[in-house]
């Protein structure tokens, strides 16, 4: 069996700096999730959950629209200019949302935030800066960082909200984006070689690639489930007797426990265990949605359901990007990353928007039934997937 390669100092520096950029940007996106649905009730029209879901999900729609164009642009002008430009746009949207005093204004700010669509460029940059045998580890670092960003946002948001409100949280997201620009300029290495020519594999081949289709469905379902959950959970906690100012007391232990529990499966998610760990995490997420359907009336059961959900979520979030670069044709990793990121943010938009509509018309508990059905569909599609080697045709 082939011995696993050790990362070079440059690969470690690249992986850590890319992970920090991803983390800073995702922390900026996630930090409003635990408090926004409650904050919106103080705005004109804020009791309409469809609009609340739209405000949360609009970020994902503009992200989805621009991932492929900006991924394509990064192949031609370079990754760093696209990353820096995207972070500047994200910061601008954050400051627009901070000044908004209506849901419509926040929707506009979130749309501008999403126009800074750099996920595909970041994933492609990781492929540029790491050898094939170390790419899974690099992508896992980025995935784990997203889990850490969740942990920090779930803990910090309820603590900061009484002090600075949602407008202040949007300002924080803008400052974090500007900090990520500094990391890009002065810490992230430059690729030594030319970017792989994406024209060697057609766009239609990437779209029809059966294993990428399975993974793209997965990231859509995963992020739609995440956003849907946080359309209903904050209000459910208040109804169950936990004041908004004390939500951090639930989110912090939930996120710490789920992060600790996800480390062993991620460590085993290589070689012959890769598929088993992946499917196991998917079953865990499925179980979490089933629990959440019955959990919304009790703080304790919500905490259990969220812990189970984030164990599975964190493992899948760490696994999916590395699987995309593993199974994609070598000449089309940038294109595949762009499609993957587009579908991811379509899931963000669709999950929040659909959850707002479903909750408004059918009740909060119906949202978990929706996410349960989506995840069951994903499990059926993923069951026969091949993630051990890339397709060669």
Q: How many domains does the chain have?
A: 1
CB 352 within 8 A of CB 107: no
Output DSSP code: residue 42: G
Is 6 part of any domain? no
Res. 194 pLDDT band, cuts 50 70 90: very low
Burial of residue 136 (number of CB atoms within 10 Å: 0-12, 13-18, 19+):
buried
pTM metric for this prediction: 0.77
Q: What average pLDDT does this structure show over 202-230?
A: 89
Q: At residue 341, does pLDDT exceed 90?
A: no
Which CATH number does the domain housing residue 226 bear? Answer: 1.20.1250.20
**Distance (Å, whole) CA 362 – CA 365:** 8
**Distance (Å, whole) CA 22 – CA 149:** 9
Q: At residue 172, does pLDDT exceed 60?
A: yes
CB 279 within 8 A of CB 382: yes
Question: For the chain, what is the mean pLDDT?
Answer: 85
Q: What are the pLDDT digits (tens) for 275-331?
A: 888 999 999 999 999 999 988 889 999 999 999 999 999 889 878 877 887 788 766
CB 191 within 8 A of CB 129: yes
- Residues 33, 35, 41, 47, CA torsion sign: positive
Is 236 part of any domain? yes
Q: Please report the pLDDT score of residue 152 as a whole number.
A: 82
Helix axes 248-268, 299-327, angle to 10 degrees: 40
Q: At residue 196, does pLDDT exceed 70?
A: no
As a whole number of angstroms, the longest Cα–Cα distance in the chain is: 63
Q: Which residue has the higher pLDDT, 238 or 60?
A: 238
Nearest to 284 by CA among 247, 256, 317: 317
CB 349 within 8 A of CB 60: yes
Q: Please report the pLDDT score of residue 184 as a whole number.
A: 95
Output DSSP code: residue 282: H
CB 291 within 8 A of CB 301: yes
CB 337 within 8 A of CB 124: yes
Q: Please report the pLDDT score of residue 393 as a whole number.
A: 40
Is 389 part of any domain? no
- To which H or E segment does residue 323 belong? helix 299-327
Is 1 part of any domain? no
Structural domain boundaries, residue 165 = 12-188+202-382
Q: What are the pLDDT digits (tens) for 363-386?
A: 888 999 999 999 999 999 999 888
Q: What are the pLDDT digits (tens) for 249-262?
A: 898 898 889 888 98
Q: What are the pLDDT digits (tens) for 115-159?
A: 998 988 898 888 788 876 676 677 767 766 776 787 788 778 888
CB-based contacts of 376, cutoff 8 Å, min separation 6: 286
Is 387 part of any domain? no
Q: At residue 25, does pLDDT exceed 50?
A: yes
Among 49-58, 132-141, 183-192, 278-287, which stretch is predicted with the lowest mean pLDDT? Answer: 132-141
Res. 192 pLDDT band, cuts 50 70 90: low
Is 195 part of any domain? no
Q: Please report the pLDDT score of residue 391 as a whole number.
A: 44
Q: At residue 89, does pLDDT exceed 50?
A: yes
**Distance (Å, whole) CA 127 – CA 121:** 10
Is 247 part of any domain? yes
Is 3 part of any domain? no
């Amino acid at each position: 069996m082939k011995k696993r390669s050790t990362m070079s100092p440059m690969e470690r520096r690249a992986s850590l700096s890319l992970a920090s950029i991803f983390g800073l940007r995702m922390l900026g996106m996630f930090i409003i999730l635990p408090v926004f649905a409650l904050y919106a009730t103080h705005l004109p029209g804020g009791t309409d959950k469809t609009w609340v879901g739209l405000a949360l999900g609009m970020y994902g729609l503009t992200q989805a629209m621009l991932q492929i164009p900006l991924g394509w642009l990064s192949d031609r002008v370079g990754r760093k200019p696209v990353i820096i430009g995207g972070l500047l746009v994200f910061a601008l949207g954050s400051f627009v949302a901070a000044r908004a005093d209506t849901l419509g204004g926040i929707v506009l700010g979130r749309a501008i935030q999403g126009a800074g669509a750099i996920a595909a460029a970041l994933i492609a940059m990781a492929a540029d800066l790491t050898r094939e045998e170390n790419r899974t580890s690099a992508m896992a670092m980025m995935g784990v960082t997203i889990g850490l960003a969740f942990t920090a946002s779930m803990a910090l948001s309820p603590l900061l909200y009484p002090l600075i409100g949602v407008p202040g949280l949007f300002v924080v997201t803008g400052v974090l984006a500007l900090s990520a620009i500094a990391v890009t300029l002065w810490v992230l290495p430059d690729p030594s070689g030319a970017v792989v020519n994406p024209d060697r594999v057609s766009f239609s081949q990437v779209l029809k690639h059966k294993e990428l289709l399975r993974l793209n469905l997965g990231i859509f379902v995963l992020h739609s489930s995440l956003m849907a959950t946080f359309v209903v959970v904050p209000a459910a906690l208040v109804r169950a007797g936990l004041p908004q100012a004390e939500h951090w007391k639930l989110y912090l232990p939930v996120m710490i426990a789920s992060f600790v529990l996800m480390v062993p499966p991620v460590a085993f998610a290589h070689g012959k265990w890769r598929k088993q760990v992946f499917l196991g995490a998917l079953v865990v997420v499925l179980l979490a949605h089933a629990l959440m359907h019955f959990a919304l009336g009790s703080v304790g059961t919500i905490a259990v359901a969220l812990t189970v959900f984030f164990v599975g979520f964190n493992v899948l979030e760490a696994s999916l990007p590395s699987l995309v670069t593993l199974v994609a044709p070598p000449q089309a990793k940038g294109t595949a990353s762009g499609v993957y990121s587009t579908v991811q943010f379509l899931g963000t938009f669709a999950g929040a928007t659909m959850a707002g509509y479903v909750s408004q018309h059918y009740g909060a508990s119906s949202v978990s039934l929706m996410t349960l059905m989506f995840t069951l569909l994903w499990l059926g599609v993923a069951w026969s997937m091949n993630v051990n080697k890339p397709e060669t045709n």
